């Protein structure tokens, strides 16, 4: 079966996000009142699999994220 997968990978809470800090400061300089801006990575793809949850979890652990510093979440829907 074919699935549409969306994965969001972000740094774990408390870890420094330099890109988020720079963007947050730039927005503040433009007059916006933002705090704690973080920049996650977003992946979207189609997957042919009989066990999509297991495979997506394995993809995250092995390549899409570093389990020591990242957390991730994902959604999986059948392709219509």
**Beta-carbon contacts of residue 53 (< 8 Å; ≥ 6 apart):** 76
Among 5, 4, 1, smallest CA distance to 73 is for 5
pLDDT tens profile 29-47? 999 999 999 999 999 999 9
Note if the pTM is more than 0.85: yes
CATH number at residue 47: 3.30.1280.10
Q: Supply the pLDDT for residue 80.
A: 83
Contact 61, 17 (CB under 8 A): no
Structural domain span for residue 35: 2-78
From start to end of the chain, where are the E strands?
2-11, 41-48, 70-78
The total number of structural domains in the chain stands at 1
Place of tokens 């997957």: 47
pLDDT tens profile 43-71? 999 999 999 999 999 999 999 999 999 99
């Amino acid at each position: 079966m074919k699935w549409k997968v969306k994965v969001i990978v972000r740094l774990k809470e408390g870890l420094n996000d330099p890109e988020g800090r720079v963007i947050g400061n730039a927005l503040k300089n433009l007059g916006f009142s933002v705090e704690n801006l973080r920049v996650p990575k977003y992946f979207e793809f189609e997957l042919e699999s009989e066990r999509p949850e297991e495979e997506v979890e394995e993809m995250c652990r092995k390549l899409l994220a570093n389990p020591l510093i990242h957390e991730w979440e994902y959604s999986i829907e059948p392709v219509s």
